[in-house]
Amino acid sequence: MFKTPISALVLIHTTDLQVLIMERADRAGFWQSVTGSLESDETPLKTAIREVWEETRLDAGRYDLQDWHMSNEYEIYPHWRHRYAENITHNTEHLFGLTLPHTLPITLAPTEHVQYEWVDWREAAKRVFSWTNVEALRKLGEHHGLTL
């Protein structure tokens, strides 16, 4: 079964802009926010909720989950293209924010991530590997009147 080239990225952050980043299990040194592809007939919002639960064991319904009504299209890295149907080279990623009152302990999905950290949003922007993740962090800062 191939992955759908539509996904959700969820910036999980606190009110004082501490951001959750996680290191990928399949790529050492690749840090990212929660992200994942749509399954069957899911909407991007349902994907965001499911991925937050699968990757962190946080219930997004208990916190302030915001659809940012923004998306980015990016070229899928060649080393991950085998997950998609032939000739699929680009993905559309929908952006969401999940605001928590403070940092919380996370339970990682061990097949997806090996460790996590809560870091300042500017530090997160330096460490995540994806330009779309950096762009989402920049938007988070702008929303709060801050710049990278």
The whole-angstrom distance between residue 58's C-alpha and the CA centroid of its chain comes to: 14
Residue 82 lies in a domain: yes
The model's pTM is 0.94
The phi, psi pair for 55, rounded to 5°, reads -90, -20
Residue 92 is assigned to a structural domain of this protein: yes
> 115 in a domain, yes or no?
yes
Q: Does residue 104 lie within any of the structural domains?
A: yes
Residue given tokens 């969820």 in the structure block: 10
Residue 49 has pLDDT above 90, yes or no: yes
Quote the number of domains for the chain: 1
The verdict on residue 52 lying in a domain is: yes
* Domain assignment of residue 71, yes or no: yes
Residues 6 or more apart in contact with residue 52 via CB below 8 angstroms: 10, 12, 34, 58, 59, 60, 65, 98
Each residue's pLDDT tens digit, 100-144: 999 999 999 999 999 999 999 999 999 999 999 999 999 999 999
- What are the pLDDT digits (tens) for 7-41? 999 999 999 999 999 999 999 999 999 999 999 89
**CATH assignment of the domain containing 113:** 3.90.79.10
1 band by pLDDT with thresholds 50, 70 and 90: confident
Quote the domain boundaries for residue 120.
Answer: 6-143
Tell whether 148 is covered by a domain. Answer: no
What pLDDT does residue 80 have? 86
